[in-house]
Chain A
Amino acid sequence: MQGRTGDDASLVDRLRRGDPRAFEDLVIAYQHRVFGVALRMLGNRAEAEELAQEVFLRVHRAIGEFRGEAKLSTWLYAIASRLCLNRLASGERRMTRHGDEALTRLASREISPAEEVERSELETALHRAIAALSDERRMVVVLRDLEGLSYEEIAAALELELGTVRSRLHRARMDLREKLERFLP
């Protein structure tokens, strides 16, 4: 996300001008990040895709409301995280977030079968540990350690104080440290 500000600015301009290619470029540029947040928060690919699609449709409808005060990526993360947290809180979820599907498919990185076997236990434990975090703590860990946002960006996206981001992240990591104890060197 870093260093894309210039690209974002021109993309936003094109979106506002109604350039038909601009929206496609936006989806191509951000699809993995938005989907990643959704998948890690919801734990289910179908649900994550549905939510990621909703994020982009909202951006499409509301691009006129984007003032450019924050980065475009922050705005996208803000929409995605709000939709995720709302859905998690709503109780209308069709599938549990601890589903096996999520755990086995979450690591979609290309790895060799041998490596996969070797890593599978750790991966499973890792994702289970992340999934066991409270929604708010998981969101901060996902944005910081998996999506690489800065504290400031997280604070802007989640509309939190910096201090809250910092303490929430620390609590989340402490939880994870406890759960992953046996995998630590």
Chain B
Amino acid sequence: MTCHDAREQFSALIDEALDAGERAALDAHLATCADCRPELQRFRDTVALVRASGPVRAPAGFVDRVLEAARPAPWPRRLLRSLFLPWPVKLPIEAAAIVLVAVGVALVYRGSPELQQSALQEPAAPVVTQPPGGAPPEAKTPAPAREKADSRELYSARREMAREAENAKDAPRAQERVQGFAKEPGPLADKKKADTAAPAAPQAAATSRDADLQKAPESQDRQAPVIGKLDAPAPGAERQRAAKDNVPERRADSLKAQRPASAPPTPASPSATSAFVPPDVSGQLAVSDRDLALRSLKELVARLGAIETRRFDTSDGPIIELAVPRDAYAELNRGLAQLGRWQPGKAPSTLPVTIRVVVRITG
């Protein structure tokens, strides 16, 4: 046994934890090693010093404090404790959870245009005026349902317009009509259109064209300039469709080329900020010559100091939103009545300074 081996067993020797063989070997080494004997003594003295350290007593009142703490707390306090204690652990977790939920809600809200629309529209919904003539049954549906119908109508109408314009991009009047178009079509309180225009016309051509539409940049479906420029008279459409289907690239190019020209000046009107607020008044204008009526309407609008804020073309006819100064509203009604059969809906009892009027031109 080496000195090192022997000294490794000092601790166990002191505690009498060596078995008989180990003990005999260690004793034999110690008997012959003059270095290890004093070393063992120092080791013993060290342990004795440590063991001489006085006993520790719990502080006075410790038992009472433990018993008090062990007594079950009243349930409200237990609940609070379980919710918030230990503070350093649970509070940050709870705060983080709140932040996460808030961020989640914000993301979902931002990612869902429908939610944003309904948030914007709901307060204004009761202001919606009845469409002219016999109120269609949908007008009686509750506000949220109407908003949804509007979204669907807008979507299908945009697609339809996109298709028509593709087919008629070289149609003679396309550029001219593009001029006055506002950025984004707004929702239309007129429900009749939803029933007729949107579903009917697109259906026939939809199947073959859907694929093409999806190839085009997504913005084509969504953004206003495209919609404006895409307007074209419906009659030319069917003729052009067959030719267009073979050249999707050309279509994309020509769309790009047309975009700058067709981008309308953003109207400085209330509608720019309240894109989805329903109009104050909507009505139907039945005319015999649609183009003549459009030109006359343009002049009327200019004369009254009104602004055309949006235009939305459907196969049924254009739908035009105007921002009209309150003073000029009566004159507008008179002017419209001269253009054709003007059937305005009910106006609110108190008119705003700028009245938003939607005119649907038919005939």
Q: How far is the CB of A136 from chain B (nearest CB, A)?
A: 15
Residues of A bordering B, CB below 8 Å: 23-24, 27-28, 31-32, 34-36, 39-40, 45, 49, 52-53, 56-57, 60, 92, 106-109, 111, 122-123, 126-127, 130, 141, 144-146, 151, 166, 169-170, 173, 176-177, 180-181, 183-185
Docked complex Cα distance between A123 and B52 (Å):
10
Q: Is the CB of B45 within 8 A of A184?
A: yes
Q: How many residues of B contact A (CB 8 A)?
A: 29
Assess whether B58 is in contact with A126, with CB atoms less than 8 Å apart.
Answer: no
Q: Contacts A173-B46, A180-B46 given; indicate if A32 touches B55 (C-beta within 8 A).
A: yes
Please tell me if the beta carbons of B50 and A151 are within 8 angstroms of each other in the complex: no
Task: Indicate if B51 sits at the interface (CB-CB under 8 A).
Answer: yes
B49 with A151: CB separation less than 8 A:
no
Does B12 lie within 8 Å of A31, measured CB to CB?
Answer: no
Chain A residue at minimum C-beta to C-beta distance from B10: A170
Contacting pair B62 A170 (CB below 8 A):
no
Contact A53 B8 (CB under 8 A): no
Q: Considering the complex, give the chain B residue whose CB is closest to the CB of A141.
A: B50
For the complex, is B15 an interface residue (Cβ under 8 Å from A)? Answer: yes
Asked whether B53 lies within 8 Å of A23 as measured between CB atoms, the reply is: no
Residues on the A chain within 8 Å of B66, using CB: 27, 31, 52-53, 56-57
Contact check, B11 vs A31: say whether CB atoms are below 8 A apart.
no
Q: Taking CB as reference atom, which chain B residue is nearest A184?
A: B45
Which chain B residues border A184 with CB–CB below 8 Å?
A: 42, 45-46, 49
Question: How distant is B67 from chain A, measured CB to nearest CB, in Å?
Answer: 6
Q: Give A1 Cβ to nearest chain B Cβ, in Å.
A: 13
Q: A56-B70, A130-B50, A145-B50 are in contact. List 17 more A-B contacts (CB 8 A).
A: A24-B63, A27-B62, A27-B66, A27-B67, A35-B57, A35-B58, A35-B59, A36-B57, A52-B66, A53-B66, A92-B88, A106-B56, A146-B50, A170-B8, A176-B46, A177-B46, A181-B42
Contact B49 A32 (CB under 8 A): no
Q: Does B69 contact A (CB under 8 A)?
A: yes
At the interface, yes or no: B47 with Cβ under 8 Å from chain A?
Answer: yes
Residues from chain B with a CB closer than 8 A to the CB of A127 are 53
A-side contacts of B10, CB under 8 Å: 170, 173
Chain B interface, >50% SS class? helix
A126 CA / B57 CA spacing, docked (Å): 18
Chain B residue, CB-CB nearest to A107: B54
How many cross-chain pairs have Cβ atoms below 8 Å apart between A and B? 105
> What residues make up the interface of B, taking CB atoms closer than 8 Å to A?
8, 10-12, 15, 17, 42-43, 45-47, 49-51, 53-59, 62-63, 65-67, 69-70, 88
Contact B57 A32 (CB under 8 A): yes
Query: A52–B58 contact, CB under 8 A?
Result: yes
Q: Which 10 A-B pairs have the closest CB atoms?
A: A109-B54, A170-B11, A36-B56, A35-B58, A31-B58, A177-B46, A107-B54, A145-B50, A56-B66, A60-B70
Q: Are B49 and A183 in contact (CB-based, < 8 A)?
A: yes
Residues in B with CB closer than 8 Å to A141 are: 50
Name B86's closest neighbour in chain A (CB-CB).
A92
Chain B: which residue is nearest A170 at the CB level? B11
Whether A32 contacts B70 in the complex (CB less than 8 A), given A122-B49, A145-B51, comes out as no
A151-B15 contact given A57-B70, A145-B47, A180-B46, CB 8 Å threshold: yes
B43/A173 in contact, CB under 8 A? yes
A151 to B15, CA, bound (A): 9
CB–CB A173/B47 < 8 A:
yes
Q: 29 A-B residue contacts at CB 8 Å?
A: A23-B67, A23-B70, A27-B63, A31-B58, A32-B58, A34-B58, A39-B56, A45-B59, A49-B62, A52-B66, A57-B70, A92-B88, A106-B56, A107-B53, A108-B54, A111-B54, A123-B53, A126-B49, A126-B50, A127-B53, A144-B15, A166-B11, A170-B10, A173-B47, A176-B46, A176-B49, A176-B50, A177-B43, A183-B49
Tell me how far the C-beta of A160 lies from the nearest C-beta in chain B, rounded to whole angstroms: 14
